[in-house]
Amino acid sequence: MSSHSSKTLALFGGTFDPIHFGHLRMALELKQVLAFDEMRLLPSHQPAHRAAPGVTAEKRRDMLALALEDCPELVLDARELLRAGPTYTVDTLEELRSELGTELPISFCMGMDSLLGLPSWHRWQRLLELAHLVVVARPGWEMPASGQVADLLAAHRGELADIQQQPAGKILVQERRLLPISATDIRNQIHSGRSPQFLLPERVLDYIQSQGLYQQER
Ligand code: ATP
């Protein structure tokens, strides 16, 4: 794998129900600021109780593909949607490692909120053996004072050079402003007959309208 030593891969996971400019901007900024060679958007399965009615995994994938049509910098990786049953990040990372080898630096990007919930993830202690974590925190964020996540941060906190050069094992906290857009708000707006125009790509909005998505009560 020495031929891959100058490459880095980043993953930006989410349910993307629907994809919006908040996700797209953040994925692009992280790719550019942290100089990743490849940034993949990785849609996950939705727990049945969270899924918006009528919005299948295929439709979420279609919306992502439409959103990325004009952006060669971001790539769709729909592998989790093809897997039957629950999706665990750790399984996806194991699969990527068996495809790409042990040397390639892989970074999994998540919000600080997700990091705080990490100890409830399946086999969470294995995650840092497989990848780095890039954690996006709003300006003014505070380090958790104690607990498993505080210990994890203390043990694994790293610098940009670490996540670019080592294959896995570091946590990089990135302070960034987020566009004030959420998929929940977009769904609520459509449901109540308002337009979410300018919050997501026009092509995605056209698709939502032509398929009649997010109109029904959950
Ligand atoms: P929901 O409102 O349904 O929870 P969401 O808009 O938060 O959805 P997700 O698909 O849950 O979107 O999020 C995917 C990833 O994008 C997560 O890591 C989340 O922290 C991040 N994210 C969500 N909204 C924004 C935003 N406005 N700017 C930057 N990142 C965002």
Q: What is the ipTM of this complex?
A: 0.96
Report the share of the chain in percent with pLDDT over 70.
95
Residue 196 Cβ < 6 Å to ligand 1: no
7-35 tens-digit pLDDT? 999 999 999 999 999 999 999 999 999 99
Span 55-71, mean pLDDT?
Answer: 95
Q: Residue 77 has which token pair?
A: 């990786």
Long-range residue pairs from 25-28, CB within 8 A, at least 24 positions apart, any chain: 25/179, 26/109, 26/136, 26/176, 26/178, 26/179, 27/74, 27/109, 28/71, 28/73, 28/74
What distance in Å separates the CA atoms of residue 97 and residue 130, rounded to the nearest whole number? Answer: 7
Quote the ligand 1 centre to 24 CA distance (angstroms).
10
Pick the CATH number of 2-181 from 3.40.190.10, 3.40.50.620, 3.40.605.10, 3.40.50.720: 3.40.50.620
Mean pLDDT value across the chain: 92
Nearest CA to ligand 1 atom 18: 110
Among the listed residues 46, 34, 42, 61, the one whose alpha carbon sits nearest the alpha carbon of residue 136: 34
Residues in CB range of 90: below 8 A, 6 or more apart: 121, 122, 123, 124, 126, 127, 130
Which of 182, 185, 200 has the most ligand 1 atoms within 8 A of CB, as the residue to mutate?
Answer: 182
Find out whether the beta carbon of 46 lies less than 6 Å from any atom of ligand 1. Answer: no
pTM for this model (two decimals): 0.93
State the distance from the centre of ligand 1 to the C-alpha of 183, rounded, in angstroms: 7
pLDDT of residue 211: 96
* d(C-alpha 19, C-alpha 60), whole Å: 8
pLDDT of residue 83: 84
216 pLDDT exceeds 50?
yes
Higher pLDDT, residue 57 or 140: 57
Task: Give the single-character DSSP code of 157.
Answer: B
Question: 191-200 pLDDT, tens per residue?
Answer: 999 999 999 9
Lookup: tokens for 38: 């490849």
pLDDT band at 57 (very low <50, low <70, confident <90, very high): very high
Say if ligand 1 is within 6 A of residue 214 CB. no
Give the pLDDT score at 82. 87
**Domain boundaries of the chain, sorted by first residue:** 2-181
Closest ligand 1 atom to residue 15 Cα is 10
Is the distance from the beta carbon of residue 28 to the nearest atom of ligand 1 less than 6 Å? no
What integer pLDDT is reported at residue 2 of this predicted model? 41
Ligand 1 near 50 CB (within 6 A):
no
Predicted local distance difference test score (pLDDT) of residue 35: 97
Percent over 90 (pLDDT), the chain: 82
185 C-beta closer than 6 A to ligand 1: no
**Token pair recorded at residue 78:** 């729909």
Task: Copy the structure tokens of residue 216.
Answer: 């029904």
Instruction: Give the whole-angstrom CA distance, residue 106 versus residue 96.
Output: 9
CA 25 to ligand 1 centroid distance, Å:
11
